[in-house]
Chains A and B, each alone.
Chain A
Amino acid sequence: MATDKIREAFRQPWQSQLIRFTPYIAGALLLVILPAVMPSYVQSIWTRFLIFALFASSYDLIYGHTGLLSLGHAAYFGAGGYAVAAIMLHYNINSFWITLPLGIIMATIVSAGFGLLALRVSGMYFLLVTFAFGEALYAFTWNMPWLSTHGMQGIAGLPRPDLGIPGFTWNTISFYYFILVVFLICFFLVYRIMNSPFGHALRGIREGESRMRALGYNTWLYKYIAFIITGAFAGAAGVLFVYYNRFISPTHVGVATSFLPMIMVIIGGSGTLLGPVIGAFVIVFVEYFASLFTPERWPLILGAIFVAAIMYARGGISIHLTRLWKRLDYRYGSTKS
Chain B
Amino acid sequence: MEALRVEGLTKGFGGVHALSDVSFSVEIGEHLGIIGPNGAGKTTLFNLINGQLPPTSGRIYFFGRDITNMPTYSRAHLGQSRSFQLISLFPNLTVLDNTMITLHGTKLSRFQILRPTYAYLDLFAKAQEILASIALWEQKDELVKNLSYGEQRRLEIALTLALEPKLLLLDEPSCGLTGAESTEIVDILNKLGGNITVLLVAHDMDLVFGVADRVIVLHYGKIIANGKPEDIRIDPRVKEIYMGIEENAGNTATI
Q: Do chains A and B touch in the complex (CB under 8 A)?
A: yes
Using C-beta atoms within 8 Å of the partner chain, give the interface range for chain A. Answer: 20 to 34
A210 lies within 8 A of B52 (CB): yes
B240 CB within 8 Å of chain A: no
A193 CB within 8 Å of chain B: yes
A204 lies within 8 A of B90 (CB): yes
Residues of B within 8 A of A204 (CB): 90, 93, 101
From residue B235, how far is it (CB to closest CB) to chain A in Å? Answer: 33
A3 lies within 8 A of B116 (CB): no
CB-nearest residue of chain B to A188: B114
A200 lies within 8 A of B121 (CB): no
From residue A242, how far is it (CB to closest CB) to chain B in Å? Answer: 27
B90 lies within 8 A of A213 (CB): no
List residues 166-201 of chain A with CB under 8 A from any CB of chain B. 189, 192-193, 195-201
A73 CB within 8 Å of chain B: no
A215 lies within 8 A of B88 (CB): no
Residues of B within 8 A of A218 (CB): 71, 73
B112 lies within 8 A of A196 (CB): yes
CB-nearest residue of chain A to B115: A196
B113 lies within 8 A of A193 (CB): yes
Bound together, the chains give a CA A229 to CA B106 distance in angstroms of: 23
Contact of B50 among A199, A207, A214 (CB under 8 A): A214
Residues of B within 8 A of A323 (CB): none
CB-nearest residue of chain B to A10: B118
A213 lies within 8 A of B109 (CB): no
A336 CB within 8 Å of chain B: yes
A306 CB within 8 Å of chain B: no
Bound together, the chains give a CA A196 to CA B109 distance in angstroms of: 9
Bound together, the chains give a CA A113 to CA B72 distance in angstroms of: 26
B90 lies within 8 A of A217 (CB): no
A5 CB within 8 Å of chain B: yes
Given A203-B97, A213-B73, A218-B73 in contact, is the A336-B138 Cβ separation under 8 Å?
A: yes
Bound together, the chains give a CA A314 to CA B101 distance in angstroms of: 26
A200 lies within 8 A of B114 (CB): no
Residues of A within 8 A of B141 (CB): 336
Bound together, the chains give a CA A193 to CA B115 distance in angstroms of: 8
Q: Mark B82-107, 1 if CB is under 8 A from A, else 0.
A: 10100011111100010011101110
Q: Mark A233-264, 1 if CB is under 8 A from B, else 0.
A: 00000000000000000000000000000000
Q: Which of B72, B91, B97, B125 counts the most chain A CB atoms within 10 A? A: B72
CB-nearest residue of chain B to A198: B113
List residues 35-87 of chain B with CB under 8 A from any CB of chain A. 50-52, 71-73, 76-77, 80-82, 84
Bound together, the chains give a CA A212 to CA B88 distance in angstroms of: 10
CB-nearest residue of chain A to B102: A215
From residue A192, how far is it (CB to closest CB) to chain B in Å? Answer: 5
Residues of A within 8 A of B120 (CB): 197
Bound together, the chains give a CA A219 to CA B74 distance in angstroms of: 11
Contact of B97 among A6, A198, A200 (CB under 8 A): A200
A216 lies within 8 A of B109 (CB): no
Residues of B within 8 A of A208 (CB): 88-90
B220 CB within 8 Å of chain A: no
Residues of B within 8 A of A192 (CB): 113-116
Given A200-B104, A203-B97, A210-B88 in contact, is the A216-B112 Cβ separation under 8 Å?
A: no
A311 CB within 8 Å of chain B: no
CB-nearest residue of chain B to A1: B125
From residue B170, how far is it (CB to closest CB) to chain A in Å? Answer: 12
Residues of B within 8 A of A201 (CB): 101, 104, 110
Bound together, the chains give a CA A44 to CA B40 distance in angstroms of: 67
A211 CB within 8 Å of chain B: yes
Residues of B within 8 A of A199 (CB): 113, 117
Bound together, the chains give a CA A6 to CA B124 distance in angstroms of: 8
| Beyond A6-B121, A200-B104, A216-B76, 14 extra complex contacts between A and B, CB < 8 Å | A2-B122, A192-B115, A195-B117, A196-B114, A197-B115, A199-B113, A200-B117, A203-B93, A207-B91, A208-B90, A213-B76, A214-B50, A214-B52, A336-B138
Binding site for B on A (CB under 8 A): 2-3, 5-6, 189, 192-193, 195-201, 203-204, 207-208, 210-219, 229, 336
25 contacting pairs across A/B (C-beta < 8 A): A2-B121, A2-B125, A6-B124, A6-B125, A193-B113, A195-B117, A195-B118, A196-B116, A196-B117, A197-B111, A197-B120, A198-B113, A207-B90, A208-B89, A210-B52, A211-B89, A213-B51, A213-B71, A213-B72, A213-B76, A214-B52, A215-B105, A216-B76, A218-B73, A336-B141
7 closest A-B pairs by beta carbon, nearest first, are A2-B125, A215-B105, A216-B76, A207-B90, A216-B105, A213-B72, A195-B116
